[in-house]
Chains A and B, each alone.
Chain A
Amino acid sequence: MGRITLDQVSKRFGDVEVIPPLDLTIEDGEFTVFVGPSGCGKTTLLRLIAGLEDVSAGQIRIDKQDATMVPPSKRGLAMVFQSYALYPHMSVRKNIAFPMRMAKIPADEPTRRIDAAAKALNLTDYLDRRPGQLSGGQRQRVAIGRAIVREPSAFLFDEPLSNLDAALRVGMRLEISELHERLETTMIYVTHDQVEAMTMADKIVVLHAGVIEQVGSPLELYHTPRNKFVAGFIGSPKMNFIEGEEAAKFDAHTIGIRPEHIEVSGEEGAWSGVVSVSEHLGSDTFFHVHNTGLAETITVRAGGEVGFRHGDLIFLTPRSDVIHRFDAQGLRIA
């Protein structure tokens, strides 16, 4: 079981309120991602759930039990840290065994669990090595192994992939997703990378300055962002925002249009501009368009190869059915 409920939880560091009171429920077995720019309070929120920081007010419940004052060692959660936090003086085997040693699980049960975890994580050949002799990806897997053997009610991941190179990151992302499919345990995953959030999450919690901006499935956030912040944060490249006259035509203070929802043409269109930078990836082509009179830059994503270059005149047509409208406060107009 692993249903985690935050009830009016807040956190202050001295006079600074980093997390104003918030409510959040994470259902059992759910893969929840906390995402937001750095300094948004997502790691602090995770550490509050872990018990590594005190809440300043409010209540944290794990499976209906009040865990607010329970020390981290007794919350039954496992955490994978950004730096992996492996014990450098212990072999991989001892690292993975440590939680069981602390819990004083008797006899061969630990050995069985270690072997199972090592097999699942491809670590069998490395069990007698020290963390210092492993690659980044292997260390990451040891950290996950250490978390698995605890059989926790929930896993907490604190930006676990940010120290890996790009190729490894994609691989580990898949491994963690597969792990979740297999274990069906609650997972809370903190990242600043919206791609990780979109690909892994059942539920995304977008945080900004300690405040939850929106909670929803990845596609909900993509299709119906509740406000300008979520709209701009989810999706890559970023959504274009246009204010003023053009927005007024849609009865909005600001309109947002995603780069992939703009058609390009050399002859005609609703808007026109000059290509400043064009990025040709083969599968897609990105244009950064200036002098549109709408915003400083309009970013456009065209499928396949489209042959405009720097300095070309280009015509743009937004797909009117996917234009997002926001009011002066930045809130979505339904």
Chain B
Amino acid sequence: MARAITPQRKALNTALAWGVGLLIFFPILWTILTSFQTEAQAISDPPVFLFFDWTLENYAVVQERSDYGRFLWNSIIIAGGSTILGIIIAVPAAWSMAFVPSKRTKDILLWMLSTKMLPAVGVLYPIYLIFIRMGLLDTKIGLVIVLMLINLPIIVWMLYTYFKEIPGEILEAARMDGATLKEEVLYVLTPMAIPGIASTLLLNVILAWNEAFWTLNLTAAKAAPLTAFIASYSSPEGLFYAKLSAASTMAIGPILILGWFSQKQLVSGLTFGAVK
């Protein structure tokens, strides 16, 4: 039913949108390209764009200097672990809020979100002390717990908005059909909410992957994830553009690919149910 658009108009839109898109994407593209250049090419004046001798040397050097695999593994465990743990805790809570709402449900939700506004830096030292006392400093489990806690409000909130879309009658039907509470959540609610749970999972993996306050301040060597891996290149002696680019590409690569594949699910999750 949309009115016919003239090809000229469409071409103009296309050119404009691609221009803006490429401009926004350019810093990433440039980083990826530079990672395949030699250090000399990387700082050549004028800069070379596409026509250079492609080399994998930087990746080898970065790998040698810092063991990428270990950081990657830590990132996967911390981001994945905190998200899955968070979802396990949040699903029952979101079920309660969505299907057995009480007068306080909204207040509890808002309170949960408000804990997200608690400035991390305000409680850094106490957490630091607790971590030392409990032997959690520089451990993956410690970071899994902290990142789970800081993302829990968002997970609960997102799941709540998804669950609210599911008609309560279907859960009541399950109850009439003889399902226990556990069976109701396991066989009816969870399968129906899979798209919502998936986008919650994705968004929170990304948030946890990129979290750079707690991961930098609570780790040293053992449990350091990719945020720390890349931060080690901020010191002056690390200032080699090609190697920095290679390290950057390695740090963002996995999540960039994951994000691109799942952008549709992400968008719906990101709106927190407030935008239809």
Contacts and interface: CB of A to CB of B under 8 A. Distances in A.
A89 B192 contact: yes
B178 A79 contact: no
B104 to A, nearest CB: 14
B177 A98 contact: yes
A156 B177 CA distance: 12
A146 interface: yes
B178, B179, B180, most chain A CB atoms within 10 A: B178
Nearest to A89: B191
| Band of interface residues on B | 10 to 19
Contact of B178 (A88, A103, A156): A103
Contacts of A90: 191
A73 B167 contact: no
B109 interface: no
A78 B175 contact: no
A85 interface: yes
Contacts of B169: 81-83, 85
| Band of interface residues on A | 20 to 34
Nearest to A98: B177
Nearest to A72: B175
A4 interface: no
B170 interface: yes
A52 B179 CA distance: 13
Given A89-B192, A102-B183, A146 B167 contact: no
Given A52-B172, A85-B167, A85-B172, A73 B177 contact: yes
Nearest to B183: A102
Contacts of B172: 52, 72, 79, 81, 85
Given A73-B179, A87-B192, 11 more contacts: A72-B175, A78-B177, A79-B173, A89-B194, A90-B191, A98-B187, A101-B187, A102-B177, A102-B180, A150-B177, A156-B176
27 contacts: A52-B176, A72-B172, A73-B175, A73-B178, A73-B179, A73-B180, A74-B178, A77-B176, A78-B176, A79-B176, A81-B169, A81-B172, A82-B169, A85-B170, A85-B173, A87-B170, A87-B173, A87-B174, A89-B191, A98-B177, A98-B179, A99-B177, A102-B174, A102-B177, A102-B183, A146-B177, A156-B176
